[in-house]
Amino acid sequence: MFQLKFAVLAALSLTLAFLTPVGGRAEADEPVLLTIEGGTTSDAGPKVVELNRTDLEAFPSASFTTTTNWTSGPQTFVGVPLLALLEEVGATAGSIEVSAINDYSQYFPIGDPTNEGAIVAYLLNGQPMTPRDKGPLWLVYNYDSDSRYRTETVYSRSIWQLDRIVISR
């Protein structure tokens, strides 16, 4: 009986070890919200970082209140600065392809100055966002703060239901 239990536990931990991505941080009991591929975080194996809500909340957060084209009235967003996320995975140059659950995607340079105004928001007006509500993650810019964030290019990068960032050099 002891041996059977041991075998089951060993098989389980082996399975979990295989499921844990190299460089990944997400705990098995919380859904992955954002996958970042192609960073330089690890030297061996696939360079994939998977972040759940707890992982995202562990980054220093940024917050702003702005109107958007898709909501009515001022909205307060809390999230992780896009540049902080990219820096964390070692991506400081090149381009990114940012995509959504519905496979909508945009490709743009990491060095684009408008990235400074972008956050990967995980709270809107103090609440988590549901997929119906453009969540759980929305790449938003501080539109009201500067006219450079009120362009078609920036609007097209304002990807809701964000779930993946792929880095290319």
For ligand MTE, the binding residues (CB under 6 A) are 70, 100, 102, 104, 155-156, 158-161
Residue closer to Mo ion by CB (options 40, 156) is 156
Binding site partner of 160, from ligand MTE, Mo ion, none, Cβ cut-off 5-8 A by kind? ligand MTE
Residue closer to ligand MTE by CB (options 13, 156) is 156
Q: CB-based burial of residue 2 (10 Å sphere; 0-12 exposed, 13-18 middle, 19+ buried)?
A: exposed
Distance of closest approach, residue 87 Cβ to ligand MTE, in angstroms: 24
Distance of closest approach, residue 158 Cβ to Mo ion, in angstroms: 9
Number of H helices and number of E strands within the chain?
4, 9
Give, in order, the Cα–Cα distances in Å from 90 to each of 78, 99, 124, 141, 155: 23, 19, 28, 22, 26
Q: Looking up tokens 């006219």, which residue turns up?
A: 147
Residue closer to ligand MTE by CB (options 64, 138) is 138
- Please say whether the dihedral angle defined by the alpha carbons of residues 46, 57, 158 and 83, taken in this order, is positive or negative: negative
String marking each residue 141-160 x if it binds Mo ion according to CB under 5 A = ---------------x----
